[in-house]
Structure 1
Amino acid sequence: MTAMLPFGARAIMSSRQEPPDSLDFFPTPPWATRAFVRYVAGPELGAIGDPSEVIWEPACGEGHMASVLRESYPYVIASDIHPYGYGHVWDFLSWDDDLAATWIFTNPPFNVAAAFARKAIAITSRGCALLVRPSWLHTIERYELFREHPPHLFAYYVERVPMHRGRWEPEGSTATDYLWVCWVHGADPRAPMWIPPGQRKLLTRPEDIHRWCKPADLPLFGEVSP
């Protein structure tokens, strides 16, 4: 297994250098990751936080999801193709080194999410879960993916998960729905499930605001939901 640091340093928001049209960076609200762990990853997928489990978040951005995963899992690898200042700078789709990941949990860039899914299915020992919009489930490309690799579970958020380009907005809103598409090696497809309402209020912590909403020196990206 390749030597690596188990923890990444928090990026300050003013260090962002990404051109607005270069990458698909829509941070996951911390509460949404906590809800995923509470209702999906643990009880439904069997990712229970065993010390032998290695969780990889390969589109970590500034750590909005990976940092929250570390609240429940002792070993989380964080990486991204762009140097946001958190985790390793690795191109996930070109990665060919030996990395023994048990699970991959990620909010991938929309346009390469199918490639992320195929890669994650191929290199994990237990499985993976991708956070996507329902519209991602369509097209021939996804049909071929699901025919070759039937998902074990679709887990829908009942309440909306607001995502804004380049930042997390604690009071943000959206008309876009999200769900987790989950694969578990050796497990048959099962009925979809719904993550219950009220999680945004229940699982948002005061320290999240301080941690993720520091003023930025550079202009933030436009208020556009994906």
Structure 2
Amino acid sequence: MARPLAEYFGQVDAADAYQYGFAPVRDFLTFPYEARSHDWVITNPPFRLAEEFVQRALVVAKQGVAILARTVFLESVGRYQGIFKDNPPTVFAQFSERVPMVKGRVDAKASTATGYAWFVWKKGETGSQLAWVPPCRRSLERPLDYL
């Protein structure tokens, strides 16, 4: 995720939960990031820790937070009470096509039955917007993505 983000943002501070060979291993939940030390926090958190990632990211980020998560992240009384009730995402952007993910690698032939979405919090904005990410995988993929 950091490589394409670096094409848009001037600087990207990347970290991984495991040694994938791209970024340093760093625990986002315990690393001593200062409050408001990054413009944005954009992540694909471990699903079981996604709520904690959102809460921490909202402290670390100046402008906003975006997490890539399963669509079912919307469900749960606990997440409603802990996040969504008082701080709903500004944008919920559902992928209209399935996004296949394989732990620790990319695979051009992977498939999935799991739906994913971007949950975005823009600081200083209220209200929630439902949006769709149109089909785009084929147009955005590059041969070098799979090396």
Aligned match of 2:110? 172
Residue pairs, 1:24-103, within 5 angstroms: 65-98=1-34, 100-103=37-40
Is 1:153 the equivalent of 2:91? yes
Deviations 1:144-178 (A, max 9, x none): 11112121010011111011233211122111110
Does residue 52 of structure 2 align to residue 106 of structure 1?
Answer: no
Instruction: Provide the identity percentage.
Output: 39
Which residue among 124, 139, 146 is the counterpart of 1:202?
Answer: 139
- The offset of 1:136, in angstroms, is 1.5
Q: Amino acid of the residue matched to residue 202 of structure 1?
A: S
Q: Who wins on radius of gyration, i.e. which is larger?
A: 1
C-alpha separation between the residues in 2 aligned to 1:89 and 1:169?
Answer: 22
Residue in structure 2 matched with residue 135 of structure 1 by the alignment: 72
Contact 1:114 1:141 in 2 (8 A): no
**Superposed displacement of residue 96, structure 1:** 2.5
Contact map agreement 1:156 1:179 (CA 8 A) in 2? yes
Alignment check: 8 A CA contact 1:162 1:174 kept: yes
SS class of match (1:70): helix
- CA pair 138-159 structure 1, distance change in 2 beyond 3 A: same
Q: 2:92 is matched by which residue type in structure 1? A: F
Aligned to 1:188: 126
- Residue by residue over 1:11-45, the C-alpha shift from the partner in whole angstroms, topping out at 9 and shown as x without a partner, is xxxxxxxxxxxxxxxxxxxxxxxxxxxxxxxxxxx
SS at 2:101 equivalent: coil
Describe the shift of the 1:104–1:78 C-alpha distance in structure 2 as closer, same or farther (beyond 3 A): same
Higher relative contact order by CA 8 Å / sep ≥ 6: 1 or 2?
A: 1
Which one has a larger percent strand, Structure 1 or Structure 2?
2
Letter in 1 for 2:9: Y
TM-superposed CA distance for 1:72, in Å, is 1.6
Structure 1 alignment gaps of length 5 or more: 1-64, 212-226
TM-score (norm 1): 0.61
Q: 2-side partners of 1:188 and 1:89: how far apart?
A: 34
The code of the aligned residue for 1:102 comes to D
Structure 2: which amino acid aligns with 1:193?
A
